[in-house]
Amino acid sequence: MIRTGGLTTLLALLTATSVTAQTPPAPRPDDEQVVREWLRHELKSTDVSPPHYTIGWSDLNDDGRLEAFVYVSGPDWCGTGGCDLYVLELTRTGVRKLADTGLARPPVAVLETRTHGRRDIAVLVCGGGIMRCYSARLRFDGRQYIRNPTDAPVVKGHPPQQVVIGDDAVRSN
């Protein structure tokens, strides 16, 4: 076996096969309007202040369609443990709620790991009597994501992730 130029060959192969980052797909033009209509219907109430919300997008099951992450906040919509996070799948026939998670705080991130065909979600758990903040791993059970992040396992280490709702999301607490 001839080993001359091994390092040069390795570098050439790495350079030739470098992976370019793909731009994630953008939501379709009417997707955000569909989410806003769903919010108006789902969160309508006459005796509390209207919520603030932040919308993020990610494809959780690699079907080419983005799911909407909606972080709802405001004085009447959050407690000391956090605010509500909805994850919505936009279908041809309407909106399917994949998550209705209370006690969530940003950042909200999509992890590389999967459960029942959908990517796991990480949310910050903090406040409400929790002394040390931590990231919880929300897993899909085949129908929906777990509602209470304090019942979810802790995200260990610093796994690869895509932040969909950043720290700058509107919060009331």
Per residue, the 3-state secondary structure of 14-83, as one string, reads: HHHCCCCCCCCCCCCCCHHHHHHHHHHHHCCCCCCCCCEEEEEEECCCCCCCCEEEEEEECCCCEECCEE
Query: Residues 149-167: what's their mean pLDDT?
Result: 91
**Reported pTM:** 0.80
Domain extents in the chain: 28-165
Instruction: For 108-150, write each residue's pLDDT tens digit.
Output: 999 999 999 999 999 999 887 777 899 999 999 999 999 999 8
User: Greater confidence, 148 or 19?
Assistant: 148
DSSP calls for 82-104: EEEEEEEEEETTEEEEEEEEEEE
Q: What pLDDT does residue 4 have?
A: 41
Q: What pLDDT does residue 121 have?
A: 97
Is the pLDDT reported for residue 54 higher than 90?
yes
Instruction: For 66-110, write each residue's pLDDT tens digit.
Output: 999 999 988 888 888 899 999 999 998 989 999 999 889 999 999
Q: What pLDDT does residue 16 have?
A: 37
